[in-house]
Amino acid sequence: MGALSIRQVRKAYHSVEILKGIDLEVDAGEFLILVGPSGCGKSTLLAMIAGLDHPTLGSIHIGDHDVTHALPKDRDIAMVFQSYALYPNMTVAENIGFALEMRKVPKAEREAAIARVAKMLQIEHLLERKPAALSGGQRQRVAMGRALARNPKLFLFDEPLSNLDAKLRVEMRAEIKLLHQRTRTTTVYVTHDQVEAMTLGDRIAVMKDGQVQQFGTPDDIYSRPANRFVAEFIGSPAMNFIECSREGIDQLQAHGVRLSLTPAHRQSLQSFSGHALVYGLRPEALRFADQGLPGELWMVEPTGPETYALVDTPLGRLTVRVPGQVHQRIGERVHLDWSAEQCHLFDGMTQQRIA
């Protein structure tokens, strides 16, 4: 049994089913990301792991203990919320040590834990301040320190970086990853940000409509998306999708354009009984070339180190991710090329990946 086992968990409010049979097994010391759009059920699932809500059906185990209906205080967990949830009348040191004080931990042991956590988070100079005198990033460090002082079996993070500006988000993301590398405490982290998911997680559970669409490593999720939703949700800019049909047994065409395939793709198509397919290309798979798919440059979006170019083609409007700058002008005729090894095929009816 893993550090956290979620078995066929379902949750319904009256006639509305929010979670529809979640199965996840998390190993000891693993960093699990729950990611998905708003309303997919990820925060509801985290609340059940924390004991703030209970499943309608199914069970949750932490280690060897069934905690499905246990109180939060009996689960040995620590949680960091989107809102910092600090006590405004307490100093940083008092906030960090409050949970230990409630557990009757001796004062000397409490002070040692506060000092250890403050050093780890580099907030020793803030221990006598109150939350009102702290920046957003400092407050989030204190909230994390309160959780770390507990040394729990399980850390739960509920979108902890959502209230921070872009620069602080990047800094705190690195802090959280470094903390996990130091403590190796099993962690469950909820976010809607796929960049956070890809950079932080050992494994990612991509959720939609109360179901796990794919559960795997960041490389699995990105390189071998299980279906069209995962392919579109993970990756920025989103994958380009081209609706196409079979031409013969093992060829594809869309709007009169034959689409390149690998021998492995052709072999998969021979055992595929459907007709409608979707051909997926990530923006970084496309490149400007002297010949290939013709098009017209419609828009350029520079981001600094790279540029997103939108090109109108016979296959529709495609997004191209270009290192550096795009030297072609808006309205200029261009050609696009790509390697067949970088395409993804999906069943047009079920939206599932064709391996």
Banded pLDDT at 198 (limits 50, 70, 90) = very high
Indicate the class that CATH gives domain 4-232.
Answer: alpha beta
Residue 152 has what pLDDT? 87
Q: What is the pLDDT of residue 144?
A: 85
CA atoms 289, 291, 292, 295: torsion sign: positive
> SS3 for the chain, per residue?
CCCEEEEEEEEEECCEEEEEEEEEEECCCCEEEEECCCCCCHHHHHHHHHCCCCCCEEEEEECCEECCCCCHHHCCEEEECCCCCCCCCCCHHHHHHHHHHHCCCCHHHHHHHHHHHHHHHCCHHHCCCCHHHCCHHHHHHHHHHHHHHHCCCEEEEECCCCCCCHHHHHHHHHHHHHHHHHHCCEEEEEECCHHHHHHHCCEEEEEECCEEEEEECHHHHHHCCCEHHHHHHCCCCCCEEEEEEECCCCCEEECCEEECCCHHHHHHHHCCCCCEEEEEECHHHCEEECCCEEEEEEEEEECCCEEEEEEEECCEEEEEEEECCCCCCCCCEEEEECCHHHEEEEECCCCEECC
CB atoms within 10 A of CB 340: 14
**Topology annotation, domain 238-347:** OB fold (Dihydrolipoamide Acetyltransferase, E2P) (2.40.50)
- pLDDT at position 92 is 93
CA 208 to chain centre: 12
Mean pLDDT taken over the chain: 91
Task: Find the mean pLDDT for residues 190-205.
Answer: 94
Higher pLDDT residue, 143 or 215? 215
pLDDT tens, residue by residue, 43-70: 999 999 999 999 999 999 999 999 999 9
pLDDT of residue 116 exceeding 80, the answer is yes
Instruction: Give just the sign of the alpha carbon dihedral 212, 47, 139, 95.
Output: negative
pTM of the model: 0.89
pLDDT recorded at residue 94: 92
Structure confidence at residue 1 (pLDDT) = 54
Q: What is the pLDDT of residue 220?
A: 96
Per-residue model confidence (pLDDT) at position 163: 78
Residue extents of the structural domains in the chain: 4-232, 238-347
* Res 164: pLDDT: 78
Q: Which two tokens stand for residue 101?
A: 């004080």
Query: What pLDDT digit, counting tens, does each position of 5-31 carry?
Result: 999 999 999 889 999 999 999 999 999
Least confident of 55-59, 110-114, 140-144, 206-210: 140-144
Q: Tell me, what's the pLDDT at 119?
A: 87
Query: 309-348: per-residue pLDDT in tens?
Result: 999 999 999 999 999 888 889 999 999 999 999 999 999 9
**Residue bearing the bigger pLDDT, 280 or 161:** 280
Q: Quick one: pLDDT band at residue 183, thresholds 50, 70, 90? A: confident
pLDDT value at residue 170? 87
